[in-house]
Amino acid sequence: MRPYEKLRAFWISKGIDVPRGVDQSEIRFFEKTEGLSFNDSDFKDYLCNLNGMRPIAGHDTDDELFSFFPMGRFKTARSNFIDLPQSKQFRSDDLVLDRFYIFADYCIASWEYGINDAGNVRIFGVPEPGLVSWHVAESFAEFVDLYIARSPRIYFTDLTSASEWNLIYHS
């Protein structure tokens, strides 16, 4: 079963209304506009077939408060966190912020999940001492499996030490 098919089946089992995907031309336009190419074919399949969760009555989360965004809500990690008071402390050379696009979140933006053009998935969050990120999955397919299994790896609580964090700024 392909990752988007797993997600669709999982969401249906949870009573989540499954949206339709976007056209390939919309993905190409987004890639051209942003100057990137999503090379993870599973992620592109997901966008073409589901494209996030459908907001109903203002809610677009599952029962665990995970939300998958439609492509129209994607933005870089840098632009996602630019309004933080500490954003002026972002290292300008930290390309993680510019290469990862936020496509999902947990618990109303407590943790945000970004994917890069290679398909690697990182979590971004703002615990003390500041904005951090860490690697979660090598591919969108792996992330989907972790999400469906409710793996502790996709939650902040699984980090055993701050040494796993990529500290982006220190407050």
128-131: which pairs have CB atoms within 8 A and are 24 or more residues apart? 128/171, 129/167, 129/170, 129/171, 130/86, 130/89, 130/167, 130/168, 130/169, 130/170, 130/171, 131/81, 131/84, 131/86, 131/90, 131/167, 131/168, 131/169
**Biggest distance spanned by C-alpha atoms of the chain:** 44
| Alpha-carbon distances, residue 68 vs 105, 121, 126, 156, 165 (angstroms) | 7, 13, 19, 18, 23
Predicted TM-score (pTM) of this structure: 0.82
Q: Tell me if residue 114 falls in helix, strand or coil.
A: strand
CA distance linking residue 166 with residue 132, whole number of Å: 5
Residue 57 has pLDDT above 80, yes or no: no
For range 1-18, the mean pLDDT: 93
CA distance linking residue 42 with residue 156, whole number of Å: 25
Residue 10 has pLDDT above 90, yes or no: yes
- N-terminal to C-terminal alpha carbon distance within the chain: 44
List the CATH number of the domain containing 116: 3.40.1580.10
CA distance linking residue 6 with residue 3, whole number of Å: 5
The tally of domains found in the chain comes to: 1
In tens, the pLDDT along 83-123 reads 655 545 555 546 667 778 888 988 877 788 888 887 788 77
101 close to 68: Cβ distance less than 8 angstroms: no
Confidence of residue 147 (pLDDT cuts 50, 70, 90): very high
Range of the domain at 60: 3-167
Q: Which residues contact 75 (CB under 8 A, 6 or more apart)?
A: 101, 102
114 — phi, psi (to 5°)? -120, 150
Token couple for 36: 């990137």
Residue 132 has pLDDT above 70, yes or no: no
